[in-house]
Amino acid sequence: MESASVLIAGAGPTGLMLACELRLAGIDVHVVDRLDERSSESRAGGMHPRTLELLDQRGMLAPFQSQGRPMQAGHFSTIPLDFSRFDTRYPYTLVLLQARVERLLEARLVELGGRVHWSSEITGLDQDDTGVTAWVSGSRQIRADYLVGCDGGRSVVRKLAGIDFPGTPATMTSLLGDVELAEPPSEAYVQERVEQGNFAVFAFEPGWHRVIVTEYDRVLDRQAKVSLDDLRAAMVRLTGTDFGMHNPRWISHFGDAARLADRYRSGRVLLAGDAAHIHFPAGGQGMNTGMQDAVNLGWKLALVVTGRAPETLLDSYETERRPVADRVLRNTRAQTLLGRPGPHSDALRETVTALIETDAANDTLGTMISALDLKYPIGDGHPLVGRRVPDLDLKTADGTVRLYELLHRGRPVLLDFDGSLGSALEGWTDRIDHIEAIRPTDRWAIPAVGDIPASAALLIRPDGYVAWLPEAAADLHTALTIWFGPELDVPPTARRPAVLQVTCAIAL
Ligand SMILES: Cc1cc2nc3c(=O)[nH]c(=O)nc-3n(C[C@H](O)[C@H](O)[C@H](O)COP(=O)(O)OP(=O)(O)OC[C@H]3O[C@@H](n4cnc5c(N)ncnc54)[C@H](O)[C@@H]3O)c2cc1C
């Protein structure tokens, strides 16, 4: 029987990102996918600011940037949102086809010593107290400490683990085709609402257009096959022309069913990405959410698998990420309602469009769609606890460095502007980097929060979220133990003074 510490089902963006995170932590990971080779189909077409930041935090962004094209906007039900107002190094959507994203992630996985095992479909699983046995393509068996189902919306892993997938059924169908057009529209990007629905036609590669036609109240079965003729006929029904579509390289359909796994974990089986949440692709959030699930889960699973943190650390994955997906489902339901044809939604749309022209509404929706506003329920005491850390420019004894560069190794960082916390880390030096730096500014600009006073220290998780700072309600020792497992054996006298020092800092 083959074995691995972590078995990942599915080599889409979620499974690949998770595999990279685990390999970076040195974990023995086995990725299987039922396809014979990588698909060239591209559902997603772009990555949002927070996903770009996460890639930057791992030093993997450059090839994505060189192959993608920044577009100065996001959108809410196709109403443009201005991301350029947000304090991030990447205030834009990076237009890049999903197939390219996957190829780049797979290349990175290979660099890290991993690979995808194609033609390997998970067909059965069994779990006990010590691990999971998965049946692959019927007869092969793989034993792993944990199995993560990143196997998409129809996840077999989810079903085999007995995890329910409640939600709302589809109310509409969109037909999609990547085609050549004999009579393309004069503009590169056309998107319109008409009486029966809406359509979009955009040039995505030289010679190729993506065509999407949405007809409300027509629901196709998920298994239904769609042809070029179906796509043509739908476009003619809406616009009177089919733009001379021919030579399709991909025809598909999707709906607005919105479902969320009722648990993200059943024993030693976890879910991530579309396996845990599906929704209409309004706002372009699915792949982004899946990749962010992966970065949230990866370091936690690595600490648990290596025995450094207790299994309960994994519970925080669901506590943090399930509400994020729930919010995505709700905002996509709102977006599809806004996209419906008819005088009532026209009026609602006019109102929302006017609101989005104000900075406050643009910022509320824009930081939500771009995921820059996330605040995990980690604790109180300071607005930064549970939020993404800003990418500060830091001066250290070794020179100038960006904060996100300090996260390249995927290890937690204790950023110490007073130089007073080193001894508090004594029991955790195997897993946490202590960095002393000069505090760059007195105030930090945080999307969705505003300007806040800078703190004297920051404990940053490997996913770039702040776990602790001196103003937090919990003390440093507690935060270190909760997030990174108990300290190694150090005599209590070696660490108590440091903790007292922190307590004094809080009191001051
Ligand atoms: C038209 C459209 C446009 C979209 N645009 C965007 C966008 O702009 N931005 C965005 O963020 N998102 C977008 N999305 C959503 C995005 O495509 C998905 O959210 C994303 O693909 C999810 O990634 P995943 O890795 O979780 O799942 P998938 O990409 O579905 O990957 C799952 C993998 O698991 C494999 N698999 C399945 N079953 C098994 C099994 N039993 N054993 C082994 N392997 C298995 C599959 O072969 C597949 O490779 C769009 C979706 C659509 C339909």
The CA 152 to ligand 1 mean position distance, Å, reads: 5
Instruction: Check pLDDT > 90 for residue 139.
Output: no
Query: What local confidence, expressed as pLDDT, does residue 73 receive?
Result: 77
- Here the CATH number for the domain that contains residue 277 is 3.50.50.60
List residues near ligand 1 (CB under 6 A).
9-15, 32-35, 43-46, 98, 121-122, 150-152, 156, 176, 254, 273-274, 281, 284-288, 290
% the chain with pLDDT above 70 = 96
Calculate the CA 172 to chain-centre distance.
Answer: 26
**DSSP H stretches of helix in 391-447:** 403-406
- Is 333 part of any domain? no
Please tell me whether residues 409 and 283 are part of one structural domain. Answer: no
**CA angle centred on 60, ends 59 and 66, rounded to 5°:** 120
Residue 485: which domain range?
393-507
Query: What local confidence, expressed as pLDDT, does residue 494 receive?
Result: 46
Q: What is the atom index within ligand 1 of the atom nearest the CA of 157? A: 41
Rounded average pLDDT over 222-229: 92
Single out the residue in 231, 255, 279 at which a domain terminates.
255
Query: What local confidence, expressed as pLDDT, does residue 506 receive?
Result: 27
Please tell me whether residues 181 and 210 are part of one structural domain. Answer: yes
pLDDT tens digits, 411-451: 999 999 999 998 999 999 999 999 999 988 889 999 999 99
Token digits of residue 270: 């976890």
- Is 13 part of any domain? yes
CB atoms within 10 A of CB 181: 18
Instruction: Check pLDDT > 80 for residue 468.
Output: yes
Please tell me whether residues 422 and 279 are part of one structural domain. Answer: no
Query: What local confidence, expressed as pLDDT, does residue 216 receive?
Result: 87
- Here the CATH number for the domain that contains residue 233 is 3.30.70.2450
Atom 4 of ligand 1: nearest residue by CA position: 44
The CA 287 to ligand 1 mean position distance, Å, reads: 7
The C-alpha atoms of residue 164 and residue 183 are separated, in whole angstroms, by: 46
Please tell me whether residues 247 and 206 are part of one structural domain. Answer: yes
Mean pLDDT rounded to a whole number for the chain:
93
- Is 57 part of any domain? yes
Single out the residue in 306, 321, 336 at which a domain terminates.
321
Rounded average pLDDT over 482-490: 88
Contact at 8 Å (CB) between 467 and 461?
yes
- Is 84 part of any domain? no
Contact at 8 Å (CB) between 468 and 479?
yes
Single out the residue in 272, 289, 321 at which a domain terminates.
321
Query: What local confidence, expressed as pLDDT, does residue 32 receive?
Result: 98
Token digits of residue 472: 């937090």
The backbone torsions φ and ψ at residue 62, rounded to the nearest 5 degrees and listed phi first, read -50, -50
Please tell me whether residues 16 and 103 are part of one structural domain. Answer: yes
Instruction: Check pLDDT > 50 for residue 293.
Output: yes
Please tell me whether residues 410 and 490 are part of one structural domain. Answer: yes
Please tell me whether residues 443 and 424 are part of one structural domain. Answer: yes
- Here the CATH number for the domain that contains residue 476 is 3.40.30.120
**Of 87 and 189, which is predicted with more confidence?**
87
Confidence of residue 490 (pLDDT cuts 50, 70, 90): low
Instruction: Check pLDDT > 50 for residue 495.
Output: no
Rounded average pLDDT over 182-187: 92
Q: Helix-strand-coil percent breakdown of the chain, rounded to 5?
A: 35, 30, 35
Please tell me whether residues 270 and 239 are part of one structural domain. Answer: no
Contact at 8 Å (CB) between 328 and 277?
yes
Rounded average pLDDT over 157-162: 98
Please tell me whether residues 147 and 204 are part of one structural domain. Answer: no
Rounded average pLDDT over 371-393: 94
pLDDT tens digits, 315-357: 999 999 999 999 999 999 999 999 998 999 999 999 999 999 9
Instruction: Check pLDDT > 90 for residue 195.
Output: no
- Is 179 part of any domain? yes
CB atoms within 10 A of CB 90: 23
Query: What local confidence, expressed as pLDDT, does residue 262 receive?
Result: 98
- Is 335 part of any domain? no
Please tell me whether residues 288 and 244 are part of one structural domain. Answer: no
The CA 400 to ligand 1 mean position distance, Å, reads: 39
- Is 134 part of any domain? yes
Query: What local confidence, expressed as pLDDT, does residue 491 receive?
Result: 52
Please tell me whether residues 500 and 428 are part of one structural domain. Answer: yes
Please tell me whether residues 192 and 248 are part of one structural domain. Answer: yes
Q: What is the atom index within ligand 1 of the atom nearest the CA of 274? A: 26
Confidence of residue 498 (pLDDT cuts 50, 70, 90): very low
Count of domains for the chain: 3
CA distances from 117 to 13, 43, 385 (A): 15, 22, 39
pLDDT tens digits, 94-115: 999 999 999 999 999 999 999 9
CB atoms within 10 A of CB 129: 6
- Is 286 part of any domain? yes
DSSP tag of 426: G
Instruction: Check pLDDT > 60 for residue 492.
Output: no
